[in-house]
Amino acid sequence: MFSFCTDPQSLEGAKWFACYLTTGKHMDFYRSFGTVLLLLSVTAPMALLFGFLAAMAARAHVAPLRWFGKGYMAVVRGVPDIAFFLFFVIALDQAIEWIRHRILCTEWEGPVYRGNDFVVCPAAKMPLSSAPQWVHDAYGFSLAVFTFAIVFGAFAANVLFGAMRAVPRAQIETAEAYGLSRRQAFWRIVVPQMWVYALPGLGNLWMILIKATPLLFLLGIRDIVYYAKELGGMKTQAFDYPHPDWRLWYFLALLVFYLAFTRASQIVLDRLMTRLARGQATLGGIAGNGAGA
């Protein structure tokens, strides 16, 4: 980046660090922080949507829907995250390629499963081997987002299901007595009030989601943990910028990043809780009303 970085062997002190910290791999390291933030910004609303739909299904009067909603919460929450990530991503990737294989490769002869190998025609590969690198990266990232949303959507569904049940039944009965249908009572009474009960659990889930982002490395995505390990490892004289084992300092930087991010998240969640609880018949709402008085 700097003009004096042409000969790293002649650099010392601040100039050496300035050039070292602006190498191409370090730029990828800095961009990987954006990857983590993008994952959170996309995954959180998707997980909340999946959780809301599953919670509604668990409350449904139709038995198959109710079984599906409760089964989704029970199964996904009961499987360790690492095991689910390793299994589900492979299964989803093979399912996509198998569907493409059935559509695009009608003349293919022989099974796709050959012992331990999964073989499809070149046209069914997803993405294609001729696709640019950004397509491979986007595809892997999409699988990661969907997997995270499925896993954390089950936990969000359990939180929202409990929050829906926490809304006083008397309010729903009163709304129905005034002529509101069950659907109207749900959307006008239950949904607006359930968030004050759900927010503490959703806040904890958000913190867990932040801490789970290093699992991106298991999904083949080069995240901040990958680059911290790669850049911090000892580099011999064969590299342009040789240095001893600095992984401690790189992981310390990640520690500071995660602590700062979770602290900022907690401040936002506390303010949101205060705003949602205002006027509600909860301890938080009563305290907020008293403070306002």
**In the numeric block, which tokens belong to residue 255?**
């520690």
Nearest to 97 by CA among 77, 122, 79: 122
> What residues contact residue 218 under an 8 Å CB cut-off, 6+ apart?
82, 85, 86
pLDDT computed for residue 154 by the predictor:
94
Domain ranges of the chain: 22-292
- pLDDT attached to residue 261: 93
Class of domain 22-292: mainly alpha
pLDDT along the chain (293 residues), means of 10: 74 83 89 91 94 93 92 90 82 88 82 81 84 85 89 94 89 84 86 89 92 80 87 84 89 93 92 77 50 46
- Find where tokens 């907690």 sit: 266
Task: For residues 62 and 121, give the distance between their C-alpha atoms in angstroms, rounded to a whole number.
Answer: 42
* 293/287 Cα distance (integer angstroms): 10
pTM: 0.81
Write out the DSSP string of 159-195: HHHHHHHHS-HHHHHHHHHTT--HHHHIIIIIHHHHH
With CA atoms as reference, report the closest residue to 264 among 195, 206, 215, 205: 206
The predicted structure's pLDDT at residue 57: 93
